[in-house]
Amino acid sequence: MPDFKVGQLPTSLIEETKELKAVGAVRGSVFLSEYRKGITLNNAKMLERVRNNSDFAGILFFDQLVNNSDRGENTGNWFVDKDTKKLMILDHTHVFRIGQLWDAISLKQDEVIPQPLLPEFSGSLYKGLLDQISVSLPFHSVSARWKNLTRQEVLGVLNDIPEDWGITDDEQSAMEEFLSFQHEHADDLENVLKIGLNWKGKV
């Protein structure tokens, strides 16, 4: 992923930027991502020229972990950096299965074992990732790294969420519980991917 941070969008910038005015932007906290030159991934064939296929299992694991329902065939969320020739994943606004409609109840409903494989994995771009993985146990190493994080490290991604984004205390607690659940069930996430994707390993 490109570098990112939270910043402030001032009224003055909105007033002088027609694109911001056109979408009805309002001042407040915003998510900022580093601008990189490159192209979107239009087809799975392009993955053959990407240089970071060692990251592909991690992309699958991450999207399963957060129930990302928006990558799939949305080519705008797959980006190949011009300089590094690496695949970058963009835009995680539709996580927790139902995207911006998620709430504390829906997150609790998703704390299940075994959890269903993301239906989006049947798409051609995800299948292309799988075809380019060249090691025998790709999900095991990713699962081990996830498992070895401390609870503090796992929940650190939820620190300092801006108040003006309107996340309630119940929703904050639900996110913490969901990520803790996924952390505790790292082995189950690995098995969901191995079985659901019919991974037989490579020699």
pLDDT tens across 123-170, in order?
A: 999 999 999 998 999 999 999 999 999 999 999 999 999 999 999 999
Spatial contact of 113 and 185, defined as CB atoms under 8 Å apart: yes
Domains delineated in the chain: 1-35 (no CATH), 39-196 (1.10.1070)
Mean pLDDT of the 99-110 span = 91
Q: pTM for this structure?
A: 0.92
Given a cut of 90, whether residue 5 has pLDDT beyond it is: yes
Orientation of helix 186-196 relative to helix 56-65, angle to 10° = 110
The closest of 140, 38, 124 to 79, measured between CA atoms, is 38
Residue 31 main-chain phi, psi, to 5 deg: -90, 125
The closest of 122, 123, 121, 63 to 94, measured between CA atoms, is 63
